Amino acid sequence: SDYEQLGYNLRSNLFQGGPLKSRSLMRDSYTPDIIQKAIRDPNNWHGRRIYELGKWYEKYFLDLNVQKAMKDKYG
Protein backbone atom coordinates (compact mmCIF):
# COMPACT_ATOMS: atom_id res chain seq x y z
CA SER A 1 0.00 0.00 0.00
CA ASP A 2 1.00 3.65 -0.24
CA TYR A 3 1.37 3.89 3.52
CA GLU A 4 3.87 0.99 3.63
CA GLN A 5 5.81 2.44 0.69
CA LEU A 6 6.01 5.82 2.43
CA GLY A 7 7.24 4.13 5.61
CA TYR A 8 9.86 2.22 3.61
CA ASN A 9 11.06 5.45 1.96
CA LEU A 10 11.31 7.17 5.32
CA ARG A 11 13.27 4.28 6.82
CA SER A 12 15.58 4.18 3.77
CA ASN A 13 16.21 7.93 4.12
CA LEU A 14 15.19 8.70 0.55
CA PHE A 15 13.69 11.97 1.79
CA GLN A 16 16.84 13.65 3.04
CA GLY A 17 15.32 17.05 3.68
CA GLY A 18 16.12 20.45 2.27
CA PRO A 19 19.54 21.85 1.44
CA LEU A 20 21.77 22.78 4.34
CA LYS A 21 22.63 26.14 2.80
CA SER A 22 19.84 28.28 1.38
CA ARG A 23 20.41 30.03 -1.92
CA SER A 24 19.07 33.28 -3.28
CA LEU A 25 18.62 34.19 -6.93
CA MET A 26 19.75 37.76 -6.20
CA ARG A 27 22.91 36.62 -4.42
CA ASP A 28 23.68 34.12 -7.20
CA SER A 29 23.04 36.67 -9.97
CA TYR A 30 24.94 39.71 -8.71
CA THR A 31 28.37 40.32 -7.24
CA PRO A 32 28.56 41.45 -3.57
CA ASP A 33 29.48 45.05 -4.48
CA ILE A 34 26.22 45.47 -6.44
CA ILE A 35 24.17 44.26 -3.48
CA GLN A 36 26.02 46.63 -1.11
CA LYS A 37 25.48 49.61 -3.44
CA ALA A 38 21.73 48.97 -3.66
CA ILE A 39 19.74 51.87 -2.27
CA ARG A 40 16.99 50.86 0.13
CA ASP A 41 14.40 53.57 0.56
CA PRO A 42 12.12 52.70 3.51
CA ASN A 43 9.56 55.26 2.36
CA ASN A 44 9.20 53.69 -1.09
CA TRP A 45 8.34 50.02 -0.92
CA HIS A 46 8.11 48.47 -4.41
CA GLY A 47 6.69 51.66 -5.87
CA ARG A 48 4.22 52.22 -3.03
CA ARG A 49 4.55 54.70 -0.25
CA ILE A 50 4.45 53.51 3.33
CA TYR A 51 1.39 55.59 4.17
CA GLU A 52 -0.48 54.03 1.21
CA LEU A 53 0.20 50.58 2.62
CA GLY A 54 -0.91 51.75 6.06
CA LYS A 55 -4.19 53.03 4.64
CA TRP A 56 -4.76 49.75 2.81
CA TYR A 57 -4.16 47.71 5.97
CA GLU A 58 -6.39 50.05 7.98
CA LYS A 59 -9.27 49.54 5.52
CA TYR A 60 -8.61 45.80 5.37
CA PHE A 61 -8.76 45.33 9.16
CA LEU A 62 -11.78 47.62 9.43
CA ASP A 63 -13.54 45.42 6.87
CA LEU A 64 -12.57 42.28 8.83
CA ASN A 65 -13.94 43.81 12.05
CA VAL A 66 -17.21 44.75 10.33
CA GLN A 67 -17.58 41.23 8.93
CA LYS A 68 -16.92 39.73 12.35
CA ALA A 69 -19.44 42.05 14.02
CA MET A 70 -22.08 41.24 11.38
CA LYS A 71 -21.49 37.53 11.85
CA ASP A 72 -21.75 37.84 15.65
CA LYS A 73 -24.93 39.89 15.42
CA TYR A 74 -26.81 38.12 12.61
CA GLY A 75 -25.15 34.69 12.60
Q: Dump pLDDT digits (tens) for 27-44.
A: 777 777 877 777 777 676
Q: Dump pLDDT digits (tens) for 45-54.
A: 666 666 777 8
Q: Is the pTM of this model over 0.75?
A: no
Q: What is the domain partition of the chain in residue ranges?
A: 47-74
Residue 69 has pLDDT above 90, yes or no: yes
Q: 25 phi and psi, to 5 degrees?
A: -65, -35
